[in-house]
Structure 1
Amino acid sequence: MSARALPQELIRAKRDGEALSPEAIRELVGGISDGSLSDAQVGALAMVIYLNGMSSAETVALTEAVRDSGEVLAWTDLELPGPVLDKHSTGGVGDLVSLVLGPWVAACGGFVPMVSGRGLGHTGGTLDKLESIPGYDIAPSRERFRHLVCEAGVAIVGQTAELAPADRRLYAIRDVTATVESLPLIVSSILGKKLACGLDALVMDVKTGSGAFMPTHEASFELASTIAEVASRAGTPITALLTDMSQPLAPCAGNAVEVREAIALLTCEKRDGRLLEVTRALAAELLLAGGLADSRDAALVLLDDRLASGAAAERFARMVAGLGGPADLLERHDRYLPQAPIVHPVHAERSGRVTQMDTRAVGLAIVALGGGRRAPHDAIDPAVGLTGIAALGEAVDGERPLAWVHARSEADAKHAAAQLKAAIEVNDVTAGDVRLPTLIQDVIRREAP
């Protein structure tokens, strides 16, 4: 820490409503990284930012300082013949977009070094899903990661110790000091890690609805707008889509069951649905931003061709094999992906149509089954989850259940069934009486200055 400014004086200035200079912010973030700021000081800093907020300029400076607190990946030495692109989601239930989008964009000529995270609260984590694949290494060496991005066009891995180390410490302290919900801290955490990957463009999927981190449209739009502004001012072109999370994005939720769903989409076993629509829209924005298509229509034609030809599925297979998973996962996924011993339908108490859903409660039902974590170090059961989840407006009765629960025991299945029934409202109405939410609600595009 520089002798020019004691950390407590910088914290005091922010406490008293002053704006911090980029230099002051860099000093503080440097102290978070190297340990010269104590946990008490980091907690105090997080709290004054939570209480007083940050200006746009401060948030940009914080994001850049977090990005630069460790290694910033560079790809120029590899002479990649296409743009370096990535996607991030604010999280949801049944949201397996990354598993499909990464290889799909790679098949179109992009290079996708995707650093992903684990499940948080009721939301699923991409790394947890991938770890249901036997042998898949989420923490490869830097050299193996770079080689796979070059060779397969995509590698989905976990955050390394070298990428944005300030964020890892700051987030851990935010988690125990009731400061997670600060907009500047959320934005700098998301973008600090992503921009450290040396991207040419980024697309954000910001969720809204009952299963979203920020459930109201207003809060989600503010988050999307702030992320777009900060990323562009930090030098990375970005598109943010505001998408619906008032029901699970896919008709399934869990870990292994979502990998199966991804394979079904990539191999064209399934050819429609909300998941495919959102993934296709996000991928099209990346192709446009990366110069791989000159119009949205051209981007969609290219995407559809690469999916139908099997090129996207082949990229996924190469990524899995390149990170230690089975080379024949696509063809023999039932041999490799774990399956729960108990699978039961969950029927509604009455026939009718699904009119409303507490998606967060659906996610928590999966956590209770063992498919998520109650505490950070909990083990996850990759086999459990839900499949065949009825969509809003869909009719359910004695033949068509609300979903099928995949559980480790009869007691777990019974508990999850009760949670699911409480989370899904069924009424005797016609299809026209059910108001279906718009899937893609807003699009925000920002170029780098």
Structure 2
Amino acid sequence: MTDIPRLIEKKRDGKCLEDDEIRTFINGLLPGPNKCVDDGQLGAMLMAIYLKKMNDRETTVLTKAMRDSGEVLSWPQEWKGKVVDKHSTGGVGDKVSLVLAPALAACGMKVPMISGRGLGHTGGTLDKLESVPGYNVSLSKEQIESALHHVGCVIAGQTANIAPADKRMYACRDVTATVDDISLVTGSIICKKAAEGIDALIMDVKCGEGAWPICSNVEDASKLAKCLVAAGIGLGINTVALVTQMDAPLGRAVGNALEVAESVRCLQNKGPADLLDIVSELGGELLDLVQPGQDGKARIKSVVRDGRALKKFQEMLNAQGVDSQLAQKLCSSVNPLSELCQAEHKTELKCPTKGYVIKLDAMNCALVTRDLGGGRMVAGQQLNHAVGLELLVEVGSEVEQGQSWVRVHHDGELTAQLRKTLDNSVTISSTKPEVKSRVLRKIP
């Protein structure tokens, strides 16, 4: 019988676990005759890792064992070198996946994007897409392969057979205050990406006030980025990370249906510049990994500009259950939000003075959207896909006193507390700020 308490004690005392010890512990989480780790022991090990940390070798072995706890997807030989994906650590208004996946497909890539739901203050890609009536995120491997064959991209949820050890570990991390650990975050992210059978991966590591607490500054975000890249490469995936700024929301929309509508606008080549810039930077880096020398960034911009990416998005909606008429209307509408659910009320808040917008607080915007019903305060909470924020200005905008800076989409009353939080979210100065690129660093 495996001596699980001895392994917990070893990590508790700050010692490194051997490769076979890590694999034994992960295998012990799985149902069946080899299950030997109970919930209390899992919680104890997670806390030991959280407090004493893992080195790069341990992190890579942990990630590989989590990947190998379930099914690893495989693809036709002719797709070799073209199966790619992107992952973000989570931000506010971050709808990059909705634009980037079809853009990559339009460039000839295969994108089996396994995404997640909202976590904490950050929005979830699956939650956003489910604001489109009929969109099915629960696909089998056969359905995923069919969509990749016919469309080139799919955005779906984690299947029951992909990284089951991660599911059990994550549920325990959520209730044991061990979510924000670099090794555990890395293992959870990379094991699922590795299970997709991808050739290359671009990581978007958010940094700033609207990012995870472990990524509040550039140095800490870079540490996580380096760990993610090392684990990805260790599992045979060509991996690069960009550290990107998340002090202000990305784009102008925060909230599920609002972000889908803005994504469609971006694919129509009418979206906010900062969103298209990030999509182009991430997509360009990824294309350059697998097809160097072809100016990946320009290719991404080209397929957005000429409508090929929008066509792929419409095809993806069809392949994942959306009525073809609705998909066509959504993608061709001058007001895509009109084809989606809409909130009962829209309330605009005004600028208190004239000047230049020097700050839009991403965290406050996320918390207000969550409290309106657009995010989960507790697991399993029903989402209101219609609510959220429509920013009418951006950092650097010149504004007049009394000018509207945000339009709140809400059902029921907009409380005084939420108004106050929003009032504290915008900062206006007489001095025009320097607006810099959101890309802060590239790793490696």
Matched residues, number: 433
Residues 244 and 437 of structure 1 are in contact (CA less than 8 Å); yes or no, is this contact kept in structure 2? no
What is the CA-CA distance between 1:289 and the residue it aligns to?
1.2
Match of 2:425 in 1: 423
> For 1:33, what is the secondary structure of its paired residue?
coil
Aligned match of 2:93: 94
Amino acid at match of 1:95: D
CA contact (8 A) 1:74 1:197 kept: yes
CA offset digits 1:148-192 (Å, max 9, x no partner):
012100000011111111111101111111111111111101111
The superposition leaves residues 384-405 of structure 1 with CA deviations (integer Å, 9 ceiling, x where unpaired) of 1111342222223345322111
- The Cα offsets for residues 41-66 of structure 1, whole Å up to 9 and x where unpaired, read as 00001011011101111001001011
How far is 1:107 from its partner?
Answer: 0.3
Match of residue 229 from structure 2 = 228
Structure 1 residue 11, shift from structure 2 partner: 1.1
Match of 1:27 among 18, 24, 42: 24
Residue in structure 1 matched with residue 242 of structure 2 by the alignment: 241
Residue by residue over 1:72-131, the C-alpha shift from the partner in whole angstroms, topping out at 9 and shown as x without a partner, is 111136x33761000000111111000000000000010000000111111111001000
Report the counterpart of residue 113 of structure 1 in structure 2.
Answer: 112
- Structure 2 CA distance, aligned partners of 1:82 and 1:232? 15
- Distance, in Å, in 2 between the alignment partners of 1:6 and 1:390 is 59
1:320-373 superposed Cα distances (whole Å, 9 cap, x missing partner): 011011322312544531111211211132222222333111100100111101
- Name the residue aligned to 1:379: 382
8 Å contact kept, 2:163–2:195:
yes
Residue 64 (str. 1) matches residue 67 (str. 2)? no
Kept in 2: contact 1:154–1:319 (CA 8 A): yes
**Distance of 2:247 and 2:100 partners within structure 1:** 21
Match runs of 1:154-193 below 5 Å: 154-193=153-192
In the alignment, is residue 273 of structure 1 matched against residue 273 of structure 2?
yes
Identical residues among aligned pairs (%): 39
- Show the 5 A alignment for 1:300-319: 300-319=297-316
Secondary structure of residue in 1 paired with 2:414: helix
In the alignment, is the contact (CA less than 8 A) between 1:247 and 1:358 conserved in 2? yes
Contact 1:118–1:127, Cα closer than 8 Å, also in 2: yes
In structure 2, runs of 5+ residues without a counterpart are none
Deviation of 1:218 after TM superposition, in Å, equals 1.4
1:145 Cα deviation after fit: 1.3
Q: Aligned in 2, Cα 1:82/1:54: closer, same or farther, shift over 3 Å?
A: closer
Deviations 1:386-434 (A, max 9, x none): 113422222233453221111112x22655332211122223x121xx2
- Give, as a single letter, the amino acid of the residue that structure 1 aligns with 2:270: E
Structure 2: distance between partners of 1:153 and 1:361 = 37
How does the TM-score come out when normalised to structure 1? 0.93
Counterpart-to-counterpart distance in 2, 1:309 and 1:251: 23
Instruction: After TM superposition, list the pairs within 5 Å mapping 1:19-418 onto structure 2.
Output: 19-34=16-31, 35-76=35-76, 79-80=78-79, 83-213=82-212, 214-270=215-271, 273-291=273-291, 293-295=292-294, 298-327=295-324, 328=328, 329-332=330-333, 333-398=336-401, 400-409=403-412, 411-412=413-414, 415-418=417-420
Match of 1:416, SS state, is: helix
1:80–1:150 CA contact under 8 A, matched in 2: no
Distance in 1, Cα, partners of 2:315 & 2:415: 36
The superposition leaves residues 238-291 of structure 1 with CA deviations (integer Å, 9 ceiling, x where unpaired) of 110000101001111101111111101111233x51111011000001111122
- Aligned residues of 1:352 and 1:395 also touching (Cα < 8 A): yes
Q: Secondary structure at the match of 2:101?
A: helix
CA distance in 1, matches of 2:191, 2:80: 26
Instruction: Please tell me whether the aligned partners of residues 353 and 426 of structure 1 are also in contact (alpha carbons under 8 angstroms).
Output: yes
In structure 2, how many angstroms separate the alpha carbons of the residues matched to 1:338 and 1:23? 51
CA offsets per residue over residues 178-216 of structure 1, 9 Å max, x none?
111111111101111111100100000001111011211
Distance 2:29 2:428 in 1: 50
In the aligned structure 2, how far is the partner of 1:41 from the partner of 1:194?
A: 27
Normalising by structure 2, report the TM-score: 0.94
CA-based RMSD of the aligned residues comes to 1.6
Secondary structure of 2:113 counterpart: strand
Query: For 2:189 and 2:238, how far apart are their aligned partners in 1?
Result: 15
Q: Counterpart of 1:284 in 2: which secondary structure? A: helix
Give the counterpart letter for 1:417 in structure 2: R
Alpha-carbon distance in 2 for matches of 1:183, 1:198: 23
CA contact (8 A) 1:134 1:336 kept: no
Name segments (4+ residues, structure 1) moved above 4 Å.
none
